Structure 1
Amino acid sequence: MLQQLFSPSVQHTLDLVGIFVFAISGALLAVRKNFDVFGIAVLAEVTALGGGLIRDLIIGAVPPAAFTDLGYFVTPLLAALLVFFLHPQVERIQTGVNVFDAAGLGLFCVTGTTKAYEYGLGLTASACLGLATAVGGGVLRDVLANEVPSLLRWDRDLYAVPATVGAAMVALCIRWDALTPLTSGLAVVTAFVLRLLAMRFHWRAPRAWNRRSTVREEEHLPV
């Protein structure tokens, strides 16, 4: 069994914080799309739990944690309730929400990779599932909201790349038998800082070389 970055109680608390922030992003998109209260709750749940659910189903960790821990299920509902009543105020602190979202991204890409490896997957597959844990909920959110997933759009600041770096760091540490709470924490911080820098300096992935696209380019409000 790989070493845990935090004690089980601290890990659980951090998971709930990450789930809460992810759920807020889903609920805010639902409000922008003019969804009703049920739609807001669904989008909050999917955004918060979708990545972990995909990971657990693939590795055979069933029933998934989202269905065995009441806190995991209730936390997104609390976030949806908050956004339902106070979405103008939540929108005003979007920058703060984005910072916590970046922290959740860093945490989940690392814990997702570690859990996948513990269930017998290879290093590459584990890193891919670490990435899926971190960004899967956001992809499902966008699909349900009839949006092109942010993960695939050139006009969004880097999101998957920081998670990929964090997951790859964990996989390399496992490969060289160097995965400790310290190196795991370093991977979390690296993904977190890369995401913050991407938001600060608007780093984006390159598009096709010498492309000749007929699609009209336009900027979109951040989701």
Structure 2
Amino acid sequence: MIDVILPALPERELTLVSEETPQSPALTGHLTLGGPVSVPVTSELVTGDPGLLAFVEAETHTAVYHLLHCAITCAQEAPEPALHAINLDLTLSADIKRPPVSGPIAWSMAPHQLTGTADPSAPVRLGPRLGLRDDHHAPPAGERVCVEARRELRSDPGWEIRRTGTVPIGGTYRLVMVVRAPRGTVTWAAVAVGATVREGHTPHRFRAEIAHPVRLADRECAPPVDR
């Protein structure tokens, strides 16, 4: 197992538009998106762990791996209405020229489940087979989860952040995944952020689509192109 210190994330404040009535006032001043930033998982990165190094080298002819890092920060003094839930959704795709090669997937995700807060400055821990080490154990029966990974091992992964009776939405939530992609392809990660607020018992949903997908490049691929 190794600890990985990820680079700082560029941030942007989000403006989310209503999914129900686009002409309604947008949701602003609530959320900031950090990243996403991609770091390739190379032999040099995992050289301190013989097991991880062997795994990466065994996969070298078929797959490449990337650490994808992003964060959601909720404003300390956000205007009303209060957030009831947040969704961060990714769509992974690749320029596959030789089917039936399978596309990119979220190989591992962290946090998997949280019932409280976590230290966003703590290092990311890579365990066996490039699984992200999640030190947060499964919640006790009946305890509500406030952060949960969704759709691991698929091309449409994401996280849901929920307000619970004891834990409000607030602060920074760091979200990390290992992406497995076919060797020799250019892989993209498109990002969208949704938010749900309540007016009484009625939920209202808002969403922001990030304009430019993140490029996850195999070192054998051609230089980046506009997309």
* Band the TM-score falls in, shorter-chain normalisation: under 0.3
| Higher RCO structure, 1 or 2 (CA under 8 Å, sep 6+) | 2
Structure with more strand by fraction: 2
Greater Rg over alpha carbons, structure: 2
Normalising by structure 2, report the TM-score. Answer: 0.25
Query: Under a length normalisation based on structure 1, what TM-score does the superposition of the two structures give?
Result: 0.25
